[in-house]
Amino acid sequence: MIREITRPPKIALCRNCHGTGAVPGDEPGETHVCLQCEGSGRVTVSCEMTLDIRPYKPIRKDKPRII
């Protein structure tokens, strides 16, 4: 059975800048605008998944193994 799942978009903190909208630059005290959230500190997250669900069928062996 194949199942399609879609999660609605939600707003989350940007993981790149930790919600500040700025990332550290090369020089001490220098900051740049975060490219992932474009300085807002927030991003929209959504998800689409395809699940392939099958029954588990173990491999049967004719003779038990003796150790």
Could you report the per-residue pLDDT of 3-61, keeping only the tens digit for each? 999 999 999 999 999 999 999 998 998 999 999 999 999 999 999 999 999 999 888 77
The answer to the question of residue 60 being in a domain is no
The answer to the question of residue 63 being in a domain is no
Domain that holds residue 43: 2-52
The answer to whether 11 and 17 are in contact (CB under 8 A) is no
DSSP for 14-31, written as a single string? -TTTTTSSEEE-SSTT-E
pTM above 0.75, yes or no: no
Domain count along the chain? 1
